[in-house]
Structure formats: structure tokens, C-alpha cells
Amino acid sequence: MTDTLQTIAPRDKAEILAQALPYIRKFHGKTIVIKYGGNAMTDPELQADFAEDVVLLKLVGMNPVVVHGGGPQIEAALGRLGKKGHFIQGMRVTDAETMEVVEWVLAGEVQQDIVGLINQAGGKAVGLTGRDGALMRARKLRMKDHADPALEHDVGQVGEIVSIDPSVVKALQDDAFIPVISPIGFGENNESYNINADLVASKLATVLQAEKLMLLTNIPGVLNKAGELLTELTSREIDVLIADGTISGGMLPKIAGALDAAKAGVHAVHIVDGRVPHAMLLEILSDQAFGTMISNG
């Protein structure tokens, strides 16, 4: 980014900042929940861009909260142990040994990498799991078969959220810190649960009454049947796209979580192409679309 800025004339830099001012004013003091995953998590240049974006949002008066995934990193760690990941209907089957790996990778390696990147970029990040401050209580997910609802799959220590107590997140925000949250919940017997990160981000955005929820992905956004980006979608339009098969497969749970957040009062939900440098910043501080915005409509 530094090399690019050096080629921009000072007057043009001032114009760029002036154009961002209405958006800075609009979102000042507002909470923005960011699901961080995909290429943005594995490409070093995109990692640095992401950290700079988060710090800039905090410095101009917004309250970013980061929820991260880590599927590729978990898979790599399991591979080193001679273990292969197994999925049922898109959910990782998580036995006790896999859960240990999930906790070590997400709450250790991945979370601390993100915290370090944000701190290096000039922010003050703090890592949390669902245990910290009793943030996220969970129970075992009872997953019904898509084809036969009477059939139930046992996916091990995969959880669904029972409740979120955002007190610790709010306390950190009020003290100028940036929370970085691993999607691990805890049960009534202190057992750990692996929870889908998109779902955690959506529920957290609802509980925090966030202004925006941003889901970074490996795709441009929601595409129509011609492969064209749909920059805005309402809940009614989404129902049509699901019914005709335009939205299918792995995009279904992401869209479902996004739509739940929009219906629960999150003003705007964005599915953002995390492969575009500074896409998140461009989405928030300009009228340029780098993904799909979902609203309750």
C-alpha cells in the first residue's frame, strides 16, 4: 500500500480523504463485526491489508470486532498428526482429539497471529474465546439429515449457541481495544464446542446491535445465474434465489446467518471478496461495491 500512496499526488490524497468523510461521520461510534476468513487469512499481503483496515476503522472512531475461522489451518494441523478431517453436511465431525486440535489452532496459533498483526499495524488487539467473560455458552448441535429430518447425525463436539454475554467485548471496546474472537463455546459441564464462525459472527452482531456485519469470503459475493455480481439483496429476493437454485451449497448457511442478522436489526450485512486488497475498507468508506449487501428490505 505504501508504494501505491507514494504515486498519488497530495491533492488527490486529500480528495480521497474528503470523500471518505461522510462515511466516517455516519459510522462513528458504531460497532462493525467482521468475520475474517478465506484468502485474506492465508495471503501475507492480504493479512497486512486486513490488519491496517481494522486499525484505521478503530482510529476514525468505529468499533471493529473480529471473529475468525481457521479451517485450512486446522486441516494442516490434523494432517501433521496423521488425521484427516471428516465432514457431514458441511460440518466438521469433531471428536475429542480433533477438539483439542481445534482449540490449539484457533485459540492459539490463528488468534495470536491476528492479534499480532493488528498490534503491529498500530492497534491494540485482545484475543478471546467463548470462555472469556462467559462470552458464549453452547450446547451440542443436533444436526438433522437434509434428506430425512427424522435422521440425526452425531458430529461430536460441534456446538450451537445458547447465549452470548457481550459484557467483556463491550468493556474492551470502551477501553480502546479491538476484540479478536475464536468461535469456541463452552457447555454447562465446562466442555468445549467448535462453532461455525459465520454463525458466531452473525449472532454476535445481533447481540451487539452492530451497524454492520461483514463476512470476508473467497468469492466476489452472491452471483446470479449469468455469473454477475448482485450488489444488493433483500430477504424477499434471497428467497427467490434459493428457490430457483441460484444460491446453493456452501453459500446457504452463510446467507442464512447473514439474513438472520439483518432480520434481527443489523442494518447492513456485507458478503465481501476478501481477495481484493483493502476490500473491507473500500466497502465501508466508499460507494464502491466489493461484494453483496443484504438487508431485511
pLDDT tens digit string along 99-131? Answer: 999 999 999 999 999 999 999 999 999 999 999
Q: Give the pLDDT confidence score for residue 39 in this predicted structure.
A: 66
Measured CA to CA, the distance from residue 214 to residue 238 in angstroms comes to 17
More confident residue, 169 or 226: 169
CA dist 223 → 218, 255, 294 (Å): 13, 12, 13
The pTM of the full predicted model, rounded to 2 decimals, is 0.89
Flag whether 71 is marked binding: yes
**Which cell goes with 126?**
485482545
Residue 164, helix vs strand vs coil: strand
- First-last CA distance in the chain: 36
Specify the DSSP class assigned to residue 110. I
Stretch 183-203: mean pLDDT = 93
Flag whether 245 is marked binding: no
Contact yes or no for 91/155 (Cβ under 8 A): yes
Domain boundaries, the chain: 29-295
Give alpha helix (H) positions in the chain.
2-6, 10-27, 39-42, 44-59, 71-80, 96-103, 111-120, 167-174, 197-207, 235-243, 251-263, 279-285
Measured CA to CA, the distance from residue 281 to residue 292 in angstroms comes to 14
Flag whether 297 is marked binding: no
Number of Cβ within 10 Å of residue 18's Cβ equals: 9
More confident residue, 279 or 121: 121
Contact yes or no for 69/185 (Cβ under 8 A): no
Stretch 217-225: mean pLDDT = 83
pLDDT score of 155 more than 80: yes
Q: Which of 10, 26, 24 is nearest to 56 (CA)?
A: 24
Flag whether 92 is marked binding: yes
pLDDT score of 67 more than 90: yes
Residue 213, helix vs strand vs coil: strand
pLDDT score of 289 more than 50: yes
CATH architecture of 29-295: 3-Layer(aba) Sandwich (3.40)
pLDDT band of 58, cuts 50, 70, 90? very high
φ/ψ of residue 91, rounded to 5: -100, 135
Computed over every residue of the chain, the mean pLDDT equals: 87
Q: Give the pLDDT confidence score for residue 6 in this predicted structure.
A: 54
